[in-house]
Amino acid sequence: MTEQTPSAPSRPRLRVAPSPTGDPHVGTAYMALFNLAFVRQQEGSFVLRVEDTDRARFDATSEAQLYDTLSWLGLTWDEGPDVGGPYAPYRQSERLDTYRPYVERLIADGHAYHCWCSTERLSAMRERQQKLKQPTGYDRMCVGKTREERAELEGFTETPVVRMLVPEDAPTTFEDVIRGTVSAPRPDDQVILKADGFPTYHLAVVVDDHEMGITHVVRGEEWISSTPKHVLLYQWLGLTPPKFAHMPLLRNENKSKISKRKNPWARLTWFREQGYLPEAVVNFLGLLAYPPAKGEDGTDVEKFTFADFSRDFAWSKVNTVGPIFDLKKLDWLNGQYIRDLDVDDLAGRLLPYLQTAGVLGENPSLGELARLRSITELISTRMALLSEAPALVAPFYVADDELKIAQDARDGLKDDAPAVLDAAITALEGLHVPDGVLSAEAREGNQWHAEQIEAALRAAIVEGMGLKPRLAFGPLRTAVSGQRISPPLFESMEILGQHSTLARLRRLRSELG
């Protein structure tokens, strides 16, 4: 055990320390972002520590998800279980020998004691306290007793835990980097070593933060009430505590705390499933509890990179009021990022969603990929999420006779739909499209281009039939895409080609009788 605080690190060392108990929480990314912004600004070190001492809730797949999702967001760490580092191991379950000497010292110094109370006795004790409207907390039945003395009393269990012996004058205030002087309730006799030999969070976090040289502990405000316990442990062990910063909790629109049980977006994996871009998610998290920068004209700059956020970061700017998790704002941001992507980059990001949906196979052909690039240019302004792409893209890869017409699109057709389709078929049949491999001269004579397709259809339907442009092309959109809302119509027809376009128009026309 380290007997005294090591020399202070010359640069800040911060950490994020999630528990692998299921899908990683979005709050983990939120905390990681603020930690990492400060670390990179100060040229310090960022540590990922896995706090896996809760063996009852431990989920073996959660740790891998944690690495995957944080890496996807670009919130990368300098030290951790997967990359190693000078303070390894970085999993608490692999550090059990580290904690035992600290526990033994606390017991020897009279700051901790063994407790043999059974789970049943503790439950009955809490129930009684609640009925009598007394403060809940351990009643210290085991304090000052040997095992033999305690065994003669009710509610005894063979395997004890170890509890802190909190003095009446325990400090209840501490300095917070974000909040200033903070007051918290007086702590009770917290368990610091469980019956299974694993430390609780309270002991492990103090020992690990000390041994790993952590300079700033940044965590959610729900840990404010626990901080006096940690300050006590630092004092008893003769260690210098880190600086504390307690971030406001993420809230739903009704001000309730976001939870994985009630809110799917509390799961960090949900954002990739839904088709959010990682840079948009990071940008959005950076707007929570933190003011946007001001542009030269004084307006808020709501779209920024991690580098922008880190460069100007200051703890003093953090707003302690719980930020509202506004998914509409995230959707808007994501759409902005999608439209800013290079077409090849966007097509590459769409590909996994199209393959998952079965629109494209595992190994698409060069022709299919070339078509995807053309389609991507059409649909980039029509998506807020990458997951919306399969519905927009699928019509371009399905056989003409297998295209499904959505019921709402079919129901929206007017009585003049057959006449509109007849006029469109005649007009498009009149466009010259050379057969076979085109020579340069033949390519110049090819009339199957969006501009000429549009001109022919406007002449035939808008001018020829006297229909308003807003209503004229609905039947054509339905025939070509199967949807009421689709990518740009004339460009879609150009990509599909004359043969497929006419086949789809004729098919819908025949179905209408």
| Tokens at 180, concatenated | 């200033």
Lay out the sheet containing 216-220: strands in order across.
45-48, 13-16, 216-220, 243-247, 173-176, 180-183
Q: Are 32 and 306 in contact (CB under 8 A)?
A: no
Binding residues: 260
* Residue 157, SS3 per DSSP: strand
Helices 489-496 and 498-512: angle between axes, nearest 10 degrees: 110
> How many H-runs (helices) and E-runs (strands) does the chain carry?
23, 11
The phi-psi region of residue 394 (left if phi > 0; otherwise alpha if psi is between -120 and 50; otherwise beta) is alpha
| Tokens at 410, concatenated | 């079919």
Q: Which listed residue (131, 243, 255, 260) is catalytic?
A: 260
Nearest to 475 by CA among 438, 435, 500, 512: 512
The Cα angle at residue 352 between residues 351 and 357, in degrees rounded to 5? 100
Tell me if residue 257 is catalytic.
no
Question: In Å, what is the CA distance from 437 to each residue of 432, 434, 441, 442, 446?
Answer: 15, 8, 11, 9, 12
Nearest to 238 by CA among 212, 217, 213, 210: 210
Distance CA 90, CA 386 (A): 35
Binding residues for ATP: 260
Phi, psi dihedrals of residue 301, rounded to the nearest 5°: -100, 100
The catalytic residues are 260
